[in-house]
Structure 1
Amino acid sequence: ERVRSQLNLSWGIIPFILLHCDSIEELVERSVSYLKKNKIVKKKDKIVVVAGEPVGQAGNINLLELKEIK
């Protein structure tokens, strides 16, 4: 919650919280689904995914991915 609140202050960033995910793949899939459902993104938009494994453990960022919405 604290990080989400801090990110709200950054221009162009829409932070949200997902409950437990078992893998980065699930995290990305659920994130894209959330963004589409809430009409935050549309086809051909690009998003940046920042994540790490093990999922849910703070401080382990080892993935930075640019993803195009399909």
Structure 2
Amino acid sequence: SGRTARMVSRFRCPVDIIGMTTSAKVWRKLNLSWGLTPVMCGMYDSMEEMFANSVQEATAALGLEKGDNVVITGGMVNGTSGNTNLIKVEEIDRAW
């Protein structure tokens, strides 16, 4: 639903925010949020795949470099609104 990304953007943090979604409707909503870059993505079969693709998409969209940190939030059920139940901090360890 993009709700978590929109909530984070309300704080107007001095960092970039990526909102990944499979929905064009949600992508358009995310595009209206302050400091938030929406990215279209596919459905993932596992959390590991979601983490890897999230880091890769963030690196491509924001020009991140090795050593930069990425905070990933998400839910165990892909596509279910209001289901954010995990947070993970990843360090970029390679160039994409």
Q: What TM-score does the superposition give when structure 2 sets the normalisation length? A: 0.57
Q: Which residue of 1 aligns with 2:30?
A: 7
Report how many aligned residue pairs link the two structures.
Answer: 69
What is the CA-CA distance between 1:38 and the residue it aligns to?
5.2
Whole-angstrom distance in 2 between the partners of 1:28 and 1:60 = 16
Q: Unpaired runs of 5+ in structure 1?
A: none
Provide the secondary structure at the position in 2 that maps to 1:58.
Answer: coil
What is the CA-CA distance between 1:2 and the residue it aligns to?
3.0
Whole-angstrom distance in 1 between the partners of 2:92 and 2:52 = 11
Q: Unpaired runs of 5+ in structure 2?
A: 1-23
Q: Assess if the C-alpha contact under 8 Å between 1:24 and 1:51 holds in 2.
A: no
Whole-angstrom distance in 2 between the partners of 1:40 and 1:56 = 27
Partner of residue 82 from structure 2, selected from 59, 62, 66: 59
The answer to which structure has the higher strand fraction is: 2
Identity of matched residues, %? 30
What is the CA-CA distance between 1:37 and the residue it aligns to?
4.5
Q: Which residue of 1 aligns with 2:52?
A: 29
2:19 pairs with 1:19: no
What is the CA-CA distance between 1:30 and the residue it aligns to?
1.4
Whole-angstrom distance in 2 between the partners of 1:40 and 1:7 = 20
* Counterpart AA for 1:17: M
User: Deviating runs (4+, > 6 A) in structure 1?
Assistant: none
Q: What TM-score does the superposition give when structure 1 sets the normalisation length? A: 0.72
